[in-house]
Amino acid sequence: MKIISNNSKTDKEDMRKIWEKIGDYFRANSIWMKWYCTGCGAIELPPTMTSRFDMERLGMGPMATPRQADVLLITGYLSSKTLRRIIYSYEQMQDPKYVVGFGSCTINGGIYYDSYATMKQLDNYLPVDLYIAGCMPRPEAVMNGFDTLISMIKKGEANGWKHYKENYDWYSRNQLHSLGEVYVKDEFHE
């Protein structure tokens, strides 16, 4: 399966319009993150949010609903069941939106590489702007990653959401291959 790079270096010169640059400047300084706790990595976020590391000094805060959030954090292993809900959440979010993958499980499956229920590569299914490596990444690494994300947004490099629209067929094909069907079918949706 071919991997399409999200951060293609072909458009090296900044093609953004002036209002897009202004928009990106303000977006970068006020990021609301949708905190969907998919795996064990979510436990690193309370120390990142609270007084010790204090994420809010970067202008970031947690947000309860996907429709009001800018960043989707995939914190840890991603099961096939969770991926359906993640796709629901991601497609509800307003543009521009960014995806951050946490930990080795989202990168290559991590210790769940042979699990019958766990995705091995997140960027097959959603456009990942930034990976934070580690098992799990400590709050220092998380803060560092958020700092990188902010500078990427300022430079206009975090274009995963555009990539998702342009290559929707490819993403959709991967999603269907792994999940069979994206629609959630459980007892509560009968």
Partner 1 sequence: MNSMNSIYENLKSKFNILGVDYPDDMQMAIDLDEKDIHTVIVYLKSIGYTQLSMLTCVDWIKEGVFQLVYIVFNWDNGIHILVRTKLDRENPKFRTIVEIYPGAQFYERDVHEFFGVEFEGNEISYKNLFLELWDDMPPMRKDFDPQKYSDEKYAAREYKSKFISEVGGEK
Q: Which residues bind partner 1 (CB under 8 A)?
A: 1, 3, 80-81, 84, 107-109, 113-121, 124, 174, 177-181, 184-187
Least distance in angstroms from the C-beta of 128 to partner 1: 12
60: DSSP letter: E
**Residue 19 or 116: which CB sits closer to partner 1?**
116
**Residue 81 or 155: which CB sits closer to partner 1?**
81
Query: Which amino acid makes up residue 121?
Result: Q
Q: Which residue has the tokens 């609903």?
A: 65
Least distance in angstroms from the C-beta of 177 to partner 1: 7
Phi-psi region of 76 (alpha: psi -120 to 50; beta: other; left: phi over 0): left
**Residue 88 or 113: which CB sits closer to partner 1?**
113
Least distance in angstroms from the C-beta of 86 to partner 1: 14
Least distance in angstroms from the C-beta of 106 to partner 1: 10
Distance CA 25, CA 84 (A): 32
Half-sphere exposure of 62 (CA within 13 A, CB side): 12
Q: Which residues pair with 98 in a beta bridge?
A: 71
**Residue 109 or 137: which CB sits closer to partner 1?**
109
Least distance in angstroms from the C-beta of 141 to partner 1: 20
**Three-class secondary structure of residue 177 per DSSP:** helix
Phi-psi region of 126 (alpha: psi -120 to 50; beta: other; left: phi over 0): beta
**Residue 60 or 86: which CB sits closer to partner 1?**
86
- Given a contact cutoff of 8 angstroms between Cβ atoms, the answer to whether 29 and 57 are in contact is no
